[in-house]
Amino acid sequence: MIILTGEEIFKNIVDSIVNLEEDKAVELANEALKKKINLLEVVEKGFSAGIRKVGELWEDGEFFLPELMRGAQIMQKCLDILIPHLQKGSEEISHGKVVIATIEGDIHSIGKTIVATMLRAYGFEVYDLGADVPAEKIIQEAVEKKADIIGVSALLTTTMTGQKKIIEILREKNLMNKFKVILGGAPVTSAWVEECNAHGSAENAIEAVKLVKSLLNK
Amino acid sequence: MSFHDWLEDDSKTILFDGGLGSELIKRGLTSGKIPDILNIEQSEIISEIHKSYYDAGSDMCQTNTFGSTPLNLSHYNLEIRIEEIIENALENIKKVRLSGCLIVGDIGPTGEFRPPVGNASSDEWYSSFSIQVKLLETGVDLWHIETISDLEEMLTAIRAVRDVSKKPLIASITYKRTKKGFFTIMGDSLEKCVETLNNEDVDVIGANCTLGSNDMLDLLKNAIEFTDKPLSVKPNAGQPVIKGDQTYYEQPINEFVNDIKEMIGVGAKIVGGCCGTSPKTINAIRKIIDSL
């Protein structure tokens, strides 16, 4: 039997994620548990480093949607194995809470789901409310979950006004200082973000992760 | 003249229609409803938009049935109204179609992805497309499967059409530009898509949406290398800009039309527009085609 050091396991984990090898990734997560390797390091130097690499390959046009989603799903499966064994559970690796939804009247969920999946893979606690969700409901959930970030997606130019409505309601209720609001969807531009007084938008899922990290100073 | 006669006439460039969504917005229909239900609720406006494209010089216009599959309509709890929606869609276009012009049955994506991106299966796609095709078949002259971002879904849609209909078929995929060339978001290259469609029972290979006219011109120059079949292009008029509660497409019409002119020169057989294009755009292209 070959005995692997921590550093070697980290490298193998990165490779298993980048090569989209689910069985191998799961095996390595279990091995790390058995060997009592520092699990925070396993997450950070192994799985997170792996998914970052997948994200880079996607941004470079080497990977496409199926690889990106598969990588994030494998990562999620492994985190589900490791998190119960962390001393304080998910809080220990959670970088913050995100409530995300596609706005009312709009059923386009794929972009929003990809962003949610990537944020989860990067260690955020994500509450995905689905598509066609009224602004009031999104805010109610964000308050209940004590979210740091509200992400609102709209793919239709006809439903984008719902993104603005979120901020108007937050202002009316004096809740604007509680959350950072980010906007997503193909028609969203920086001019629209400015007009809505939102906190940002991103071109793609990887940029969205960077945006959320920077908004939360992570 | 039939569509096949047009295809065989080397001097003919076929003019398709332009965008529907931006025309609806112009008329204040910004409710976020699926446009297909407007075949029933605002049938006069839908007819008016079709008419404006025929009047502008389109040789053929497509039915307002982009989302009229059970899978897509189910997102709005409208799948039980599919027959009524499609019946009205055919009526709306038939009553304004000009003599000598054609009606194209429009088939858009189901909105459901296969794993690992979504949960759809090929069987679900097939049965969804089949229902749409059977309902449209009697009222259309030809088909346009469009804005498809997964080659697998396209092949399934083609099978669904061909199991029911012998009418001409245009198969248009939507591509994004990457550092390594044009790809679908699912990772199929332009070369793979065009070569695959070249071996399918389709009459025209097309590309539409996502790309503006400038990028579409480059795509066409590439695509033509991989097939001898006629090619169709329906680019967007740049990207939308939101001001207040209104959406604007700011690319000047002459810029778009100049690109289209170049595409005709490169060898596009069918030209038209997608998001952000209007009857004005189509009319400007009509003038270019007539002057060639």
The domain spans of chain A are 6-91, 94-215
CA of A5, closest CA in chain B: separation in Å?
33
The pLDDT of residue A90? 57
**Residue A161: closest CA among chain B residues belongs to which residue?**
B245
Reply yes or no on whether the pLDDT at A1 is more than 60. no
Q: Would an 8 Å CB–CB cutoff place B242 in contact with chain A? A: yes
Q: Taking CB atoms and an 8 Å limit, are A158 and B242 in contact across chains?
A: no
* Cβ atoms within 10 Å, residue A76: 14
Q: Would an 8 Å CB–CB cutoff place B125 in contact with chain A? A: no
Reply yes or no on whether the pLDDT at B96 is more than 70. yes
User: Which residue type occupies A16?
Assistant: S
Q: Taking CB atoms and an 8 Å limit, are B25 and A158 in contact across chains?
A: yes
CATH architecture, range A6-91 = Orthogonal Bundle (1.10)
CATH architecture, range A94-215 = 3-Layer(aba) Sandwich (3.40)
B89 lies in which domain range? 3-291
Q: How far apart are the first and last CA of chain A?
A: 40
Residue among B30, B76, B183 minimizing CB distance to A64: B183
Q: What percent of chain B stands above pLDDT 70?
A: 97
The pLDDT of residue B246? 64
Interface test with chain B among A58, A60, A64, by most B beta carbons within 10 Å: A64
- What's the mean pLDDT in A46-70? 90
What's the pLDDT band for B248 if we cut at 50, 70, 90?
A: confident
Contact residues, chain A, for B239 at CB < 8 Å: 187, 189
What's the pLDDT band for A87 if we cut at 50, 70, 90?
A: low
Q: What percent of chain B stands above pLDDT 90?
A: 84
Q: Would an 8 Å CB–CB cutoff place B76 in contact with chain A? A: yes
* Cβ atoms within 10 Å, residue A80: 12
Distances (CA, A) of A180 to A99, A151, A202, B14, B122: 11, 8, 14, 50, 40
Q: Where do the H-state alpha helices sit in A46-200?
A: 49-59, 65-82, 90-93, 110-121, 135-144, 161-172, 190-196
Q: Taking CB atoms and an 8 Å limit, are A65 and B240 in contact across chains?
A: no
- Reported for A5-12, long-range contacts at CB under 8 A and 24+ positions apart, including other chains, are A6/A37, A6/A38, A6/A41, A9/A35, A9/A37, A9/A42, A9/A46, A10/A41, A10/A42, A10/A45, A10/A46, A10/A49
Average pLDDT, chain B: 94
Write out residues 145-204 of B within 8 Å (CB-CB) of A: 178-180, 183-187
Residue among A66, A107, A131 minimizing CB distance to B186: A66
**Residue A195: closest CA among chain B residues belongs to which residue?**
B244
Number of domains in chain B: 1
Which CATH number do you get for residue B21?
3.20.20.330
User: Which residue type occupies B140?
Assistant: V
**Residue B26: closest CA among chain A residues belongs to which residue?**
A158
What's the pLDDT band for B30 if we cut at 50, 70, 90?
A: low
The residue to which tokens 């995905």 are assigned: A128
Segment A189-218, tens digit of pLDDT: 888 899 999 999 998 888 899 999 999 986
Sign of CA dihedral B274, B279, B280, B286: positive
The reply to whether omega before B70 is within 30° of 0 (cis) is no
Residue among B24, B117, B243 minimizing CB distance to A66: B117
The pLDDT of residue A187? 79
Average pLDDT, chain A: 88
Segment B158-208, tens digit of pLDDT: 999 999 999 999 999 999 998 889 999 999 999 999 999 999 999 999 999
**Residue B114: closest CA among chain A residues belongs to which residue?**
A66
